[in-house]
Chains A and B, each alone.
Chain A
Amino acid sequence: MLSFLIRRLLQTIPTVLAVVLLVFVLFSVVPGSIASTISDDVDPQVELRLKQQLGLNDPIYVRFGNYIGKLAIGDFGTSFRTREPVTSMIAKRAWPTLQLIFTAMAFSVLLGVPLGFVAALRPGGLVDSAAMIVAVTGLSIAKFWLGLVIMYVFALKLGWLPSFGYGDGGLKHLLLPALTLGVSPMALFARTTRAAVLEIMTADFVRTARSKGMSETRVVKWHVMRNALVIILTTVGLQFGGLMGQAVVVEKLFSWPGIGSLLVDSVLQRDIPAVQGSILVVVLAFLAINLLVDLLYGVIDPRIRYA
C-alpha cells in the first residue's frame, strides 16, 4: 500500500515536467510579450530592457532550467504584471475556486445520483423518460450560453441573485456560477447511475439475494447500491478534474476571482509565471484527485489490492 503510494507520487513528476515544458514551448511560439500588452507602441529600448529584466532574452532551455530549478524548491516565480509571488496570487484565488467546484459538485451529486437511481427503478417509465431528457439536455448545453441564460433569468429578470462578482464570498454570489458549472456533471451522474444500477439489478448475485428472502428494499440497499457506488465514484472523480477546466469558462463569465479567471487574465497579458503556476496547480489537483479515487477503490472493492 505504502509502496503503491510512493510509486504513484513519483509517477506524477514526469507528468508535471511534461506540462511545464508544453506551456513553455507554447509561450515561446505565440506572438507578443508582456511588453506588447502594455501599449501598442512601446519604445523598443523599453521593451528590450523589460525583456532583459524578466530574463526573456535567454534561450528557452536556460529559462526552462531556471524555472524547474526554482520549482524544485517550491518557488513558482514572480508575476510579470504585479511583481507578486505567484504562490501568494494562487493562494488568494484557490479558495473561491474550491468553493465553486465543491458547491457545483455537491449540487450535481445530490441531484444527479438520486435522479439516475429513481430512473433505474422503473426503466422506461415516466420518471425515467423525464430524467433522461433532463440528462441529455444538461450534457448538450454549452456552459457559456447556459451561464448567460441563468444570469438573464435569475439576476436580470427575477432579480433574485447578483449577476456576477464575488461579493463577500457568501452563498448569494456563489449560487448562479455553481449552478452553471454543476448542470453537466449532474446530467452525467444521472446517466451513469442509471446505467450502473440497471446493470447490477440484473446481476446473478442480486437474484441470489432475492432468493434468500431478502426484501427488495434491502436487496437494493445492500447489494445494488454498494456495487453501483464503484462506478459512480469513478465518474465523480473524473468529473472533479473536468470541473477544474470547465471552471475557467464559468469563472470568467461570472467574474469569479478564482484560479480559472487568473489563468485567463494571465494568458491575455503574457504573464508566463502566473500561467505556469495556475496550470500547474490545476494539474496537481487533478492528479491528487485521481490518486484519491484509486485509493478509495481499494476501500470499496475488496478485489482490488495495491501492492
Chain B
Amino acid sequence: MHEPPGKVDNDLILSVEDLAVHFPVGGGLLGRNRRVLRAVDGVDLKLKRGECLGLVGESGSGKSTVALSILGLLAPTRGRIVLDGQVVTSRPSGDRKALARIVQMVFQDPYASLNPRQTVRRTLEDPLRVHGVTARSEIEDRVATMLRHVGLRPEQADRYPHEFSGGQRQRIGIARALILNPKIVICDEPVSALDVSIRAQIINLLLELKDTLGLSYIMISHDLGVVEHMSDRVAVMYLGRIVENGDWREIFERPAHPYTRALISAIPDPLHHAPLATTGGDLPNPLNPPNGCAFSPRCRYAEDVCRHEPGPALETRPDGHAVRCWRAEEIAGRMALASTEGG
C-alpha cells in the first residue's frame, strides 16, 4: 500500500493554495468587541490521484475546517482550491452540486450524521435524485451495488439507521459518500466514534474501496496511529497552519517538528514503555494566539527566537519533507546524535 514515491501517479487531483478561513466571533450590539478567529490561516495541500493524505492535529487545529472548505460548505476568506483541474473557490457558494460529484465526505459520528427519520434506502437514493438520476431501476441497482461494496445486504436498505450497529452505520455513511462516484473522499475521523474492535474493519474497508474504485483520500485524524496505516503522505496541522508535511515514512521515522514528535510518541506502543516527548498543556486560544511560534508555549525546545518571532515559513527540503520550525535543523542534529549514542 505504501508505494515508493516514484511509482505514484504525479497527476494532482486537488490543490489547496494559501487557504484561510476566518470567523468573526462575538460582537455585541453594533458589532463592538468583534474579534476574528483564524481557524485556518494559510494552508497549502496537494493531493495526487490515488493517494491517501493524512491530515493530523489535535481538536481545534483546523482540520475539519479545511475539509468543509474543500466540500464547499464553508466559504474561504482567502486562498484557492483547485479540484480536478477546476478552480472551485471562485464559484458561487450555491454550486454545491457540482462539487459534490467530485468530492464527498465520510463523517465522524455515524450516529448523528444520518437522518434518523429516513430509511437507509432514502439516504442513499437522495444524492442520486439530487444529481438527476431518475430511472427507478438504475437507482435501485446503484443502491444495491453500493451496499454490497460496503459489506451490507441490499435487503437491509429499508431499515432505519437506529436498527444498525455503529460499524454498520459507518458502512452506510461510506456508502452514502461513494454512491455519487466521487474522485476524492475526505474521511473525517471515520473510526474515532467506533469501538476499537471494529476500527480495523472500517479502515480495511476504506483501503479496499480506494483500490477497487480508484479513489483519492484525505484522512483526517487526531490519532497518528490510524493515519500511519493508511497514508502515503502526512500533513500535520497546528492552530490553523501546517507545521510539517511529507512522505509518511519520513514523518514517522524522522519527525522534524517538535509537535509531530509529541504526536508520534502519543501513539500507544506495547513495545515502548516510557513516554518520550509528550507535550503538556492545551491548544492555545485561537482568538488570542501566543506571540512568536504558536507552539512555543508548549514546546520543550523553545528559545527566545521561538517566543518572539512568528513561526518561519514552511520550508521544503529537496526530498519533499517540509517543516515550519526555527530550530528544526538543530533538533534533528541532536536527535541523530542521541540515537548514535544510544544505539
A8 interface residue (CB < 8 Å to B)? no
Query: Contacts A204-B107, A303-B160, A303-B162: A214 and B96 contacting too (C-beta < 8 A)?
Result: yes
A209 interface residue (CB < 8 Å to B)? yes
Interface size class of A (residues with CB under 8 A): 20 to 34
Instruction: State the CA gap A302–B105 with chains docked (Å).
Output: 26
Residues of chain A in range 180-211 having any CB-CB distance to chain B below 8 Å: 203-205, 207-211
| CB–CB A213/B127 < 8 A | yes
**Set of chain A residues within 8 Å of B91, measured between Cβ atoms:** none
| CB–CB B73/A210 < 8 A | yes
Using CB atoms and an 8 Å cutoff, list the residues of chain A in contact with chain B.
203-205, 207-216, 218, 223, 226-227, 300-303
22 residue pairs of the A-B complex, CB under 8 angstroms, read A204-B107, A204-B109, A204-B112, A205-B113, A205-B116, A208-B176, A209-B115, A209-B126, A210-B73, A211-B71, A211-B104, A212-B130, A213-B96, A213-B99, A213-B131, A214-B96, A223-B115, A300-B117, A302-B119, A302-B160, A303-B116, A303-B160
B97 interface residue (CB < 8 Å to A)? yes
Looking across the interface, which residue of chain B has its beta carbon closest to that of A229?
B117
| CB–CB B116/A208 < 8 A | no
Query: Contacts A204-B107, A302-B160, A303-B162: A214 and B130 contacting too (C-beta < 8 A)?
Result: yes
A-B contact count (CB 8 A): 72
Binding site secondary structure of chain A: helix
| CB–CB B107/A210 < 8 A | no
Q: How many residues of B contact A (CB 8 A)?
A: 30
Instruction: State the CA gap A209–B105 with chains docked (Å).
Output: 11
Residues of chain B in range 59-92 having any CB-CB distance to chain A below 8 Å: 71, 73
Instruction: State the CA gap A301–B161 with chains docked (Å).
Output: 12
B94 interface residue (CB < 8 Å to A)? yes
Instruction: State the CA gap A207–B73 with chains docked (Å).
Output: 8
| CB–CB A212/B112 < 8 A | no
B114 interface residue (CB < 8 Å to A)? yes
B101 interface residue (CB < 8 Å to A)? yes
| CB–CB A218/B130 < 8 A | yes
B227 interface residue (CB < 8 Å to A)? no
B13 interface residue (CB < 8 Å to A)? no
Give 10 closest A-B pairs by Cβ, nearest first.
Answer: A213-B100, A204-B112, A213-B97, A204-B113, A212-B127, A205-B115, A302-B160, A208-B113, A213-B96, A303-B162
